[in-house]
């Protein structure tokens, strides 16, 4: 009777010799299963971390390009606000000269304002862009030039705003962002 009771609680197997053995159900996980699960989870988390790093890099590049567009429009708006100096060509390769009179009640000439605008704009570029450089000039072939020092402006009919920066951090300037407009 004792064997029968035990067999009711557990599933019994009859072996070849005729003895009864109880089959117990396995509970929990083996160490190997846990190790495999940890490895799979680790690979998944590494993939997620790589995806996050790529996303951050893309977001930073997008932010930089947005700032470049804003800076370009900023200079174009400054030129349109100072139309006499623009028509006289004062914005064609201006010198970056800070003029305190341009921000005070005494005022300044349109030519001085053009130089002051270029000074303020160059300061904004240096703050906003990594290794940022910019130039404003007249140029009919806008996509040339390797830096503000080597702008390759040809004195054409269109005003061009060119911006260079080091997007990938390798120490070299990338191809310029160029925006042109007619006065």
27 found inside a domain: no
174 found inside a domain: yes
Tokens coding 160: 């061009």
Query: For 4-45, how does the pLDDT look when each residue is reduced to its tens digit (9 = 90+)?
Result: 545 555 455 554 555 555 555 667 778 888 899 999 999 999
Q: How many domains does the chain have?
A: 1
129 found inside a domain: yes
What phi and psi, each to the nearest 5 degrees, are found at residue 3?
-65, -35
The CB-side HSE value for 122 (13 A sphere, CA atoms) comes to 17
Domain region containing 72: 65-181
Q: What pLDDT, on the 0 to 100 scale, is given for residue 175?
A: 84
25 found inside a domain: no
Neighbours of 86 (CB within 10 A): 20
- Helical H runs in the chain? 2-9, 31-81, 83-88, 110-128
Q: CA–CA separation, 37 vs 96, rounded Å?
A: 63
Q: How many helices, marked H, and strands, marked E, lie in the chain?
A: 4, 5
Q: What pLDDT, on the 0 to 100 scale, is given for residue 20?
A: 52
Q: What pLDDT, on the 0 to 100 scale, is given for residue 17?
A: 53
Query: For 63-73, how does the pLDDT look when each residue is reduced to its tens digit (9 = 90+)?
Result: 999 999 999 99
Q: CA–CA separation, 86 vs 136, rounded Å?
A: 11
| Band of residue 82 on the pLDDT scale cut at 50, 70, 90 | very high
Tokens coding 119: 């000074």
23 found inside a domain: no
Q: What pLDDT, on the 0 to 100 scale, is given for residue 155?
A: 86
Query: For 169-183, how does the pLDDT look when each residue is reduced to its tens digit (9 = 90+)?
Result: 898 888 889 999 887
Distances (CA, A) of 181 to 53, 86, 175, 177: 37, 12, 19, 14
**Least confident residue range of 1-10, 82-91, 137-146:** 1-10
Q: What pLDDT, on the 0 to 100 scale, is given for residue 49?
A: 97
Q: CA–CA separation, 151 vs 126, rounded Å?
A: 17
Q: What pLDDT, on the 0 to 100 scale, is given for residue 30?
A: 86
| Band of residue 142 on the pLDDT scale cut at 50, 70, 90 | confident
90 found inside a domain: yes
- Helix 110-128 to helix 31-81 angle (10° resolution) is 180
Please provide the average confidence, as pLDDT, over all residues in the chain.
86
Q: What pLDDT, on the 0 to 100 scale, is given for residue 141?
A: 84
Burial grade of 166 (CB within 10 A; 0-12, 13-18, 19 or more): middle
Q: What pLDDT, on the 0 to 100 scale, is given for residue 29?
A: 73
Tokens coding 154: 């040809």
36 found inside a domain: no
Mean pLDDT within 103-110: 87
48 found inside a domain: no
């Amino acid at each position: 009777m004792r064997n029968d009771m035990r067999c009711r609680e557990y599933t019994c197997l009859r072996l070849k010799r005729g003895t009864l053995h109880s089959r117990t159900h396995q509970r929990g996980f083996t160490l190997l299963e846990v190790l495999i699960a940890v490895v799979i989870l680790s690979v998944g988390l590494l993939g997620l971390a790589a995806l996050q790093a790529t996303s951050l890099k893309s977001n930073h590049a997008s932010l930089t390009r947005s700032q470049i567009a804003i800076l370009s429009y900023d200079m174009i708006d400054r030129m349109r606000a100072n139309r006499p100096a623009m028509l006289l060509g004062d914005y064609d390769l201006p010198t970056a000269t800070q003029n305190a009179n341009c921000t005070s009640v005494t005022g300044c000439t349109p030519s001085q304002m053009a130089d002051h605008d270029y000074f303020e704009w160059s300061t904004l570029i240096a703050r906003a862009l990594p290794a940022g450089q910019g130039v404003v000039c007249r140029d009919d072939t806008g996509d040339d030039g390797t830096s503000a020092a080597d702008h390759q402006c040809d004195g054409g009919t269109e005003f061009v705003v060119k911006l260079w920066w080091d997007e990938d951090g390798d120490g070299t300037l990338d191809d310029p962002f160029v925006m042109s407009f007619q006065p």
